[in-house]
Structure 1
Amino acid sequence: MTSLSTHVLDAVTGTPAAGIGLDVTDADGAPAASGRTDDDGRARLAEDLAPGTYRLRFATGEWFAAAGRETFHPEVVVAFTVTAGREHLHVPLLLSPFAYSTYRGS
Protein backbone atom coordinates (compact mmCIF):
# COMPACT_ATOMS: atom_id res chain seq x y z
CA MET A 1 0.00 0.00 0.00
CA THR A 2 1.07 3.59 -0.70
CA SER A 3 1.04 6.61 1.60
CA LEU A 4 0.27 10.15 0.41
CA SER A 5 1.40 13.58 1.60
CA THR A 6 1.33 17.16 0.33
CA HIS A 7 2.98 20.51 1.02
CA VAL A 8 1.39 23.80 -0.07
CA LEU A 9 3.33 27.06 -0.35
CA ASP A 10 1.88 30.51 -0.98
CA ALA A 11 4.06 31.87 -3.80
CA VAL A 12 2.98 35.48 -3.18
CA THR A 13 3.94 35.65 0.48
CA GLY A 14 6.64 32.99 0.39
CA THR A 15 5.07 31.23 3.37
CA PRO A 16 3.39 27.88 4.03
CA ALA A 17 -0.32 27.75 3.21
CA ALA A 18 -1.72 26.65 6.56
CA GLY A 19 -5.32 25.48 6.89
CA ILE A 20 -6.16 24.49 3.30
CA GLY A 21 -8.88 21.83 3.19
CA LEU A 22 -7.95 18.62 1.35
CA ASP A 23 -9.98 15.72 -0.01
CA VAL A 24 -8.80 12.57 -1.78
CA THR A 25 -11.20 10.52 -3.87
CA ASP A 26 -10.73 7.38 -5.94
CA ALA A 27 -11.59 6.99 -9.64
CA ASP A 28 -15.27 6.42 -8.77
CA GLY A 29 -15.42 9.54 -6.61
CA ALA A 30 -15.50 7.61 -3.33
CA PRO A 31 -13.73 9.37 -0.43
CA ALA A 32 -10.28 7.95 0.32
CA ALA A 33 -8.93 10.58 2.76
CA SER A 34 -9.37 14.15 3.92
CA GLY A 35 -7.51 16.65 6.03
CA ARG A 36 -6.14 20.16 6.32
CA THR A 37 -2.62 21.53 5.93
CA ASP A 38 -0.80 22.19 9.21
CA ASP A 39 1.05 25.38 10.22
CA ASP A 40 3.92 24.38 7.90
CA GLY A 41 1.53 23.86 4.95
CA ARG A 42 1.96 20.08 5.14
CA ALA A 43 -0.46 17.18 5.47
CA ARG A 44 -0.10 13.44 5.57
CA LEU A 45 -3.33 12.21 4.02
CA ALA A 46 -3.36 8.46 3.59
CA GLU A 47 -1.35 5.45 4.61
CA ASP A 48 -3.01 2.76 2.55
CA LEU A 49 -3.87 3.74 -1.02
CA ALA A 50 -4.27 0.75 -3.33
CA PRO A 51 -3.08 0.98 -6.95
CA GLY A 52 -5.40 3.13 -9.06
CA THR A 53 -6.26 6.67 -10.06
CA TYR A 54 -7.05 9.29 -7.42
CA ARG A 55 -7.87 12.98 -7.22
CA LEU A 56 -6.48 15.31 -4.58
CA ARG A 57 -8.66 18.43 -4.18
CA PHE A 58 -7.27 21.56 -2.55
CA ALA A 59 -9.99 23.96 -1.29
CA THR A 60 -8.12 27.05 -2.46
CA GLY A 61 -11.14 29.34 -2.84
CA GLU A 62 -12.13 28.94 0.80
CA TRP A 63 -8.54 29.50 1.92
CA PHE A 64 -8.07 32.69 -0.11
CA ALA A 65 -11.51 34.02 0.98
CA ALA A 66 -10.64 33.43 4.66
CA ALA A 67 -7.53 35.56 4.10
CA GLY A 68 -9.55 38.30 2.37
CA ARG A 69 -7.89 37.62 -0.98
CA GLU A 70 -9.34 36.97 -4.43
CA THR A 71 -8.50 33.92 -6.51
CA PHE A 72 -9.27 32.69 -10.00
CA HIS A 73 -9.23 29.04 -8.89
CA PRO A 74 -11.96 28.07 -6.39
CA GLU A 75 -10.26 24.70 -6.15
CA VAL A 76 -7.24 22.88 -7.50
CA VAL A 77 -7.67 19.22 -8.40
CA VAL A 78 -4.64 17.06 -9.11
CA ALA A 79 -5.25 13.62 -10.61
CA PHE A 80 -2.53 11.05 -10.07
CA THR A 81 -1.91 7.33 -10.37
CA VAL A 82 -0.74 4.99 -7.64
CA THR A 83 1.24 2.05 -8.99
CA ALA A 84 2.07 -1.22 -7.27
CA GLY A 85 5.31 -1.20 -5.32
CA ARG A 86 5.32 2.54 -4.66
CA GLU A 87 5.75 3.17 -0.92
CA HIS A 88 5.08 6.92 -0.77
CA LEU A 89 3.76 9.69 -3.00
CA HIS A 90 4.25 13.40 -2.28
CA VAL A 91 2.18 15.95 -4.24
CA PRO A 92 3.38 19.53 -3.56
CA LEU A 93 1.42 22.61 -4.66
CA LEU A 94 2.92 26.04 -5.28
CA LEU A 95 -0.03 28.44 -5.13
CA SER A 96 -0.83 32.03 -6.06
CA PRO A 97 -4.22 33.70 -6.63
CA PHE A 98 -4.08 33.28 -10.40
CA ALA A 99 -1.74 30.33 -11.00
CA TYR A 100 -0.50 27.09 -9.49
CA SER A 101 2.13 24.46 -10.12
CA THR A 102 2.48 20.88 -8.96
CA TYR A 103 4.74 17.90 -9.50
CA ARG A 104 5.48 14.44 -8.12
CA GLY A 105 7.74 15.10 -5.20
CA SER A 106 9.83 12.73 -3.13
Structure 2
Amino acid sequence: MGKLSTHVLDTMHGKPAQNVGIKLYAIRGETRHLLKEATTNSDGRCDEPLLQGEGMKAGVYELVFGAGDYFAQKGVKMPKPRFLDQVVLRFGIADPTENYHVPLVVTPWTYSTYRGS
Protein backbone atom coordinates (compact mmCIF):
# COMPACT_ATOMS: atom_id res chain seq x y z
CA MET A 1 0.00 0.00 0.00
CA GLY A 2 1.02 3.58 -0.55
CA LYS A 3 1.33 6.45 1.86
CA LEU A 4 0.93 10.23 2.03
CA SER A 5 3.68 12.32 3.59
CA THR A 6 4.78 15.95 3.64
CA HIS A 7 7.83 18.06 4.41
CA VAL A 8 8.01 21.80 5.12
CA LEU A 9 11.11 23.76 4.13
CA ASP A 10 11.62 27.35 5.32
CA THR A 11 13.60 28.97 2.52
CA MET A 12 13.71 32.33 4.32
CA HIS A 13 15.92 30.81 7.01
CA GLY A 14 17.36 28.02 4.87
CA LYS A 15 16.27 25.09 7.02
CA PRO A 16 13.44 22.64 7.74
CA ALA A 17 10.40 24.27 9.36
CA GLN A 18 9.81 22.86 12.86
CA ASN A 19 6.45 23.22 14.66
CA VAL A 20 4.28 23.93 11.63
CA GLY A 21 0.68 22.93 12.30
CA ILE A 22 -0.85 20.82 9.53
CA LYS A 23 -4.43 19.71 8.94
CA LEU A 24 -5.40 17.05 6.41
CA TYR A 25 -8.91 17.07 4.97
CA ALA A 26 -10.73 14.71 2.62
CA ILE A 27 -12.88 16.60 0.11
CA ARG A 28 -16.20 14.95 -0.69
CA GLY A 29 -18.31 17.12 -2.94
CA GLU A 30 -18.61 20.49 -1.23
CA THR A 31 -17.68 19.15 2.22
CA ARG A 32 -14.28 18.96 3.93
CA HIS A 33 -13.76 16.19 6.48
CA LEU A 34 -10.86 16.60 8.91
CA LEU A 35 -8.82 13.38 8.86
CA LYS A 36 -5.70 14.30 10.81
CA GLU A 37 -3.81 17.08 12.57
CA ALA A 38 -0.04 17.00 12.91
CA THR A 39 2.95 19.19 13.71
CA THR A 40 6.29 19.08 11.92
CA ASN A 41 9.36 17.81 13.78
CA SER A 42 12.92 19.23 13.75
CA ASP A 43 13.41 17.88 10.22
CA GLY A 44 10.25 19.64 8.96
CA ARG A 45 8.46 16.30 8.61
CA CYS A 46 5.62 14.58 10.42
CA ASP A 47 6.61 11.70 12.70
CA GLU A 48 4.41 9.30 10.75
CA PRO A 49 2.64 9.25 7.37
CA LEU A 50 -0.52 11.34 7.15
CA LEU A 51 -2.27 8.44 5.39
CA GLN A 52 -1.23 4.84 4.90
CA GLY A 53 -2.59 1.34 4.50
CA GLU A 54 -6.37 1.13 4.44
CA GLY A 55 -6.61 4.90 5.07
CA MET A 56 -5.09 5.60 1.67
CA LYS A 57 -7.99 6.04 -0.72
CA ALA A 58 -8.35 7.61 -4.15
CA GLY A 59 -9.90 11.06 -3.96
CA VAL A 60 -9.37 14.76 -3.42
CA TYR A 61 -7.57 16.06 -0.32
CA GLU A 62 -6.39 19.32 1.20
CA LEU A 63 -3.35 19.98 3.31
CA VAL A 64 -3.58 23.20 5.32
CA PHE A 65 -0.27 24.51 6.67
CA GLY A 66 -0.09 27.12 9.45
CA ALA A 67 2.72 29.05 7.75
CA GLY A 68 1.77 32.46 9.16
CA ASP A 69 1.83 31.19 12.74
CA TYR A 70 5.17 29.47 12.10
CA PHE A 71 6.84 32.67 10.84
CA ALA A 72 5.30 34.70 13.67
CA GLN A 73 6.84 32.24 16.17
CA LYS A 74 10.19 32.81 14.45
CA GLY A 75 9.85 36.56 15.12
CA VAL A 76 9.38 37.53 11.48
CA LYS A 77 7.71 40.93 11.24
CA MET A 78 4.71 40.61 8.94
CA PRO A 79 1.91 42.96 7.89
CA LYS A 80 -1.62 42.62 9.24
CA PRO A 81 -3.32 40.84 7.71
CA ARG A 82 -0.50 38.48 6.82
CA PHE A 83 0.20 38.09 3.11
CA LEU A 84 0.41 34.30 3.60
CA ASP A 85 -1.28 32.84 6.63
CA GLN A 86 -2.66 29.39 5.94
CA VAL A 87 -1.32 27.70 2.84
CA VAL A 88 -3.95 25.40 1.35
CA LEU A 89 -2.89 22.71 -1.11
CA ARG A 90 -5.69 20.78 -2.81
CA PHE A 91 -4.52 17.69 -4.64
CA GLY A 92 -5.75 14.33 -5.85
CA ILE A 93 -4.71 10.77 -5.08
CA ALA A 94 -5.42 8.68 -8.16
CA ASP A 95 -3.65 5.46 -7.16
CA PRO A 96 -3.66 4.67 -3.42
CA THR A 97 -1.00 1.99 -3.90
CA GLU A 98 1.58 4.67 -4.75
CA ASN A 99 3.48 6.99 -2.42
CA TYR A 100 2.45 10.65 -2.50
CA HIS A 101 4.87 13.13 -0.93
CA VAL A 102 3.52 16.70 -0.95
CA PRO A 103 6.24 19.08 0.29
CA LEU A 104 5.82 22.79 0.97
CA VAL A 105 8.67 25.21 0.28
CA VAL A 106 7.69 28.47 1.95
CA THR A 107 8.60 32.02 2.99
CA PRO A 108 6.20 34.66 4.38
CA TRP A 109 5.63 35.87 0.81
CA THR A 110 5.75 32.84 -1.47
CA TYR A 111 5.39 29.08 -1.59
CA SER A 112 5.72 26.18 -3.98
CA THR A 113 4.98 22.48 -3.96
CA TYR A 114 5.45 19.43 -6.13
CA ARG A 115 4.67 15.75 -6.06
CA GLY A 116 7.52 13.79 -4.60
CA SER A 117 7.70 10.08 -3.94
TM-score normalised by the chain length of structure 1: 0.91
**Over residues 18-60 of structure 1, what are the superposed CA-to-partner deviations in whole Å (9 max), with x where a residue is unaligned?**
0100001111211112201110001232222211100000011
State how far apart, in whole Å, the 1-side matches of 2:96 and 2:26 are: 18
Which residue of 63, 68, 72 corresponds with 1:65? 72
In terms of Rg, which structure is larger? 2
Q: Do the aligned residues in 2 keep the contact of 1:2 with 1:82 (CA within 8 Å)?
A: no
Report the counterpart of residue 102 of structure 1 in structure 2.
113
Count of equivalent residues: 106
State how far apart, in whole Å, the 2-side matches of 1:34 and 1:88 are: 19
Task: Name the SS of the counterpart of 1:65 in structure 2.
Answer: helix
Report the counterpart of residue 56 of structure 2 in structure 1.
49
Report the counterpart of residue 80 of structure 1 in structure 2.
91
Instruction: For structure 1, list consecutive stretches of 5 or more residues without a partner in the other structure.
Output: none
Instruction: For structure 2, list consecutive stretches of 5 or more residues without a partner in the other structure.
Output: none
**4+ aligned runs moved over 2 Å, structure 1:** 84-87
TM-score normalised by the chain length of structure 2: 0.83
Within the alignment, does 1:31 sit opposite 2:37 as a pair? no
Q: Offset of 1:85 from its aligned partner?
A: 4.5
Task: Name the SS of the counterpart of 2:6 in structure 1.
Answer: strand
Cα RMSD (Å) = 1.4
